[in-house]
Amino acid sequence: MTNQPNEESLDPQDWDAMRALGHRMVDDMLTYLQTVRERPVWQPMPDQVKENLKKPLPVDPQSPEDVYRDFTENILPYPLGNIHPRFWGWVMGNGTPLGVLADMLAATMNPNLGGGEHVANNVELQVLDWCKEMLGFPLSASGLLVSGGSMANFVGLAVARNALAGFDIRKQGVTAAPKQLTMYGSAEMHSSLEKAVELLGLGREALRMIPTNDQFQIDLAALEKSIAADRSAGYQPICVVGCAGTVNTGAIDPLDQLADIAQREKLWFHVDGAFGALAALSPELRPSVKGMERADSIAFDLHKWMYMPFEVGCVLVRDKETHRLAFTLTPEYLAHFERGAASGSHWFNEYGLQLTRGFRALKVWFSLKEHGIAKYGRVIKQNVDQCQYLTELIQASPDLELLAPTSLNIVCFRFKMADAGDAALNALNEQILMELHEQGIAVPTYTTLNGKFAIRVANTNHRSRQEDFDILVREVARLGRELSMVKSK
């Protein structure tokens, strides 16, 4: 069968040429990954590269080979760096070679996991069951793969709000609430939870920021006091959030005790375990996140501490029907049938905001089968051990000091000088950080703890080796000495 003379398609005219280009791309990309250690972690983009990305809308076609050349010359050399062994910025994963290939296979099948009867939905159901098993949730729980921790937190808090409002908040909206709804979590909570509360119409002030102790964990007495004060002032507390690994320092809230409080106070218990929840995969680390398996909902990422390519996060909700009721809406054009492609027993669009959903489940399925859960546990523990090693190097160095107790896989430290105050050290350490990036040495990032600018290492990197932390410590000390000498001249 051939196209009519005026019929077009976006498929190639020359499949053999496309096949050859595809093979070249696979070869190039595997070499790119294999040689990543030899390149700088990060390098600035030349102006000409930025200009090249301000071109007018293409009207006429270009050959795929030309487009690929443009990509290899102008895009590929300027990554953020998170696939590199010395990237420890924010909290990001590296991705894996098979994850890349799985994404290609997913894009080839290109199914829509909003609903219907097709195998991709079963793949997602399969990996969700694996996720439940990984975190100690019952198989009767429900779940959803989402873009990341932010969306997973949003879904968790949306279900919490709808389930505990006490009236039909989906129909009537928050303005119909007889009492203002409030939620609780530590002052170290991630900003995505604040955004979620804003988008849920509660207003950011409805999320009570409870102070933390010197380990950056939620102060339980302050939490209980805040709930009681709100109740007597006429508010309606509905949810408490526990952090399994805070973004700043990796602190883990006392999750079991938070679960007790939530139970006693009849609150929804949501855990933000974006990266920390995965500590459960290591038998040695599992006790540190005990209690999270009691959550009503939990958010975590597979693209952080399970090193899968962006984007893939997950939310689990203990009660499947409560989850469904928060999002189900089935107009005529989405009706489910008994037979054919529009049948299917589980339509994921009923469990979240997205209708059209990509096949992110496939890279999870591939990755979990490729490595097996025991290896993930070992690599996660390796990251924690590397952070302990880094902590010891810092403690042994006369030039460096820790700025927070090292919890899990996050280390906060700075270059120090005997006679310098915080303002001078903040400026100096900021400079050190910029130089680390611009010289392509390493990419840790930053936070401010008790007014002190900290160089912050978040190790969710399966490519890091002990020697990478030796380099970091050596270079921070070198840059600190050099920059402080320049300053004092």
Ligand X SMILES: Cc1ncc(COP(=O)(O)O)c(C=O)c1O
Contact string (CB under 6 A) for ligand X, positions 150-179, x = contact: x--x--------------------------
In the complex, least distance from residue 47 CB atom to ligand X, rounded to whole angstroms: 29
Within 8 A by CB and 6+ apart from 137, the residues are: 131, 293, 298, 316, 318
To the nearest 10°, the Cα dihedral for 174, 176, 178, 181?
0
Q: Which is nearer to ligand X, 153 or 386 (CB)?
A: 153
Question: CA-CA distance, 324 to 142, in Å (whole number)?
Answer: 9
Q: Order of strands, edge to edge, in the sheet holding 452-458?
A: 87-88, 443-449, 452-458, 410-415, 400-402
The C-alpha angle with vertex 241 and arms to 451 and 169, in degrees rounded to 5, equals: 125
Give the residue ranges of DSSP H helices in 266-398: 320-327, 361-396
Other residues' Cβ atoms within 10 Å of the Cβ of residue 278? 29
The residues near 164 (Cβ < 8 Å, ≥ 6 apart) are: 181, 238, 239, 267, 268
Residue 201 CB, nearest approach to ligand X (Å):
21
Q: Candidates 32-40, 41-49, 142-150, 172-180 — which segment interacts with ligand X by CB under 6 A?
A: 142-150
CB nearer to ligand X: give 93 or 377. Answer: 93
Q: What is the CA radius of gyration of the chain?
A: 25
Alpha-carbon torsion, ordered 469, 471, 472, 476, to 10 deg: 150
Options 274, 316, 380, 433; binder of ligand X; rule CB under 6 A:
274
Q: Is 247 in the site for ligand X (CB under 6 A)?
A: yes
- Residue closer to ligand X, measured from CB, 145 or 177: 145
Q: Choose one: 111-119, 176-184, 196-204, 269-277; the region binding ligand X (CB under 6 A).
A: 269-277
Which residues on adjacent β-strands are paired with residue 212? 218
342: tokens are 């529009």
Stretch that binds ligand X, among 12-20, 52-60, 267-275, 354-362 (CB under 6 A): 267-275
Residue 192 within binding range of ligand X, rule CB under 6 A: yes
Nearest distance, CB of residue 292 and ligand X, angstroms: 13
How many other C-beta atoms are found inside a 10 Å radius of the C-beta of residue 335?
A: 8
Using CB under 6 A as the binding rule, the residues of this chain from 322 to 361 that contact ligand X are none
Q: State in angstroms the smallest separation of the CB of 82 from ligand X.
A: 12
Among 81, 143, 148, 237, binds ligand X (CB under 6 A): 148
CA distance between the termini of the chain: 79
**Integer Cα distance of 81 and 92 in angstroms:** 10
Residue 77 has phi, psi (to 5 degrees) of -75, -5
313 vs 377 by CB, closer to ligand X: 313
Q: How far is the CB of 358 from ligand X (least distance, A)?
A: 16
Q: Which stretch binds ligand X (CB under 6 A): 24-32, 144-152, 281-289, 378-386?
A: 144-152
Rounded CA separation 469/396 (Å): 13
Taking CB under 6 A as the rule, does residue 190 contact ligand X? yes
Q: How far is the CB of 148 from ligand X (least distance, A)?
A: 3
Task: Specify the residue, 91 or 289, whose C-beta has the smaller distance to ligand X.
Answer: 91
Provide the minimum distance between the beta carbon of 275 and ligand X in the complex, in angstroms, as a whole number: 6
Least distance from C-beta 237 to ligand X, angstroms?
Answer: 22
| Shorter beta-carbon distance to ligand X: residue 313 or 358 | 313
Question: Which one of residues 103, 124, 272, 468 is an interface residue with ligand X (CB under 6 A)?
Answer: 272
In sequence order, the 6+-apart residues with CB closer than 8 A to the CB of 161 are 169, 181, 200, 202, 238, 239
In angstroms, give the least distance from the CB of 59 to ligand X: 36
Of these, 99, 116, 291, 313, which contacts ligand X (CB under 6 A)? 313
Q: Considering the rule CB under 6 A, would residue 149 count as an interface residue with ligand X?
A: yes
Residues making contact with ligand X (CB under 6 A): 90-91, 148-150, 153, 190, 192, 245, 247, 272, 274-275, 301, 313
